[in-house]
Amino acid sequence: MLDRIRELPGKTLNIETYHALRREESDHLTGPIWKLERSQYFHEPDDDPSWQAFNAGDWPKVLAVFESERGEAQAETAKYARHGSELRRLRIVERPVTPYLLWEMQWFKILDEEDTAIRVLDAEQIRDLEHDAPLPEILADEHALYHVSYDEEWRACGARRIEDPQIVRQAIDEIAELWEPAEPLARYFAREITPLIPQVR
């Protein structure tokens, strides 16, 4: 199913509508949100201070900005918990670690420490699912599945919303199946990311 998401019909949403729907739906959850992240690079908003620091090569500032945003990570986890839900992020990783992923993992470490569920899966473990293209970027919960869209520079620009309950359920089941053998973020970070940090300070 996951490798066929691009072919399935869905309602195309711009980025504003997608975010508005996600905010509305996150207030009415009874189960987990599943997020599958496959690309090894995204273009983050240009006004993001940590992204600006990353592009400037200022890694001490990257870490300081992320630490200053710890309260946001706490608030997000608490919001989901109040609704009896949680966000489960499954991050697919390639070797060697890309500069983007090294940056992103600094934020993921904060999220993990504040109880966001994050696991990491080596891309080699999904090769049999990627016959024609890498797996898509997906967010799914009990309401719908969103196939997130990006422009040529990998800036988020919207999503396709798929509401068919059977498709949503099957996609969630397949992500959950990949989740089981995936590695907890903290263990991956200690082994693969920590040794790289002195090189970028």
pTM (two decimals): 0.95
At residue 22 the predicted structure's pLDDT band, cuts being 50, 70 and 90, is: very high
Would you identify the CATH topology of the domain 2-199?
A: Endonuclease; Chain A (3.30.870)
Question: What pLDDT does residue 26 have?
Answer: 85
Query: What rounded mean pLDDT belongs to the chain?
Result: 95
Contacts 24+ apart (CB under 8 A), 123-129: 123/92, 123/93, 123/94, 123/95, 125/178, 125/181, 126/92, 126/178, 129/2, 129/3
Confidence bin at 199 (pLDDT 50/70/90): low
Q: Where are the domains of the chain?
A: 2-199
pLDDT tens by residue, 58-115: 999 999 999 999 999 999 999 999 888 999 999 999 999 999 999 999 999 999 999 9
* pLDDT band, residue 151 (cuts 50/70/90): very high
SS3 75: helix
**Whether the predicted pLDDT of 200 surpasses 80:** no
Round to whole Å and give the CA distance between 136 and 40: 12
Convert the pLDDT of each residue in 46-63 to its tens digit. Answer: 999 999 999 999 999 999
Cβ atoms within 10 Å of 131's Cβ, excluding its own: 7
pLDDT-above-70 percentage for the chain: 98
Q: Which residues pair with 88 in a beta bridge?
A: 34, 117
Can you tell me the distance from the alpha carbon of 109 to that of 92, in angstroms, rounded to the nearest whole number? Answer: 15
Contacts for 14-19: CB closer than 8 Å, 24+ residues apart: 14/157, 14/158, 15/156, 15/157, 15/158, 17/158, 18/146, 18/148, 18/158, 18/159, 18/161
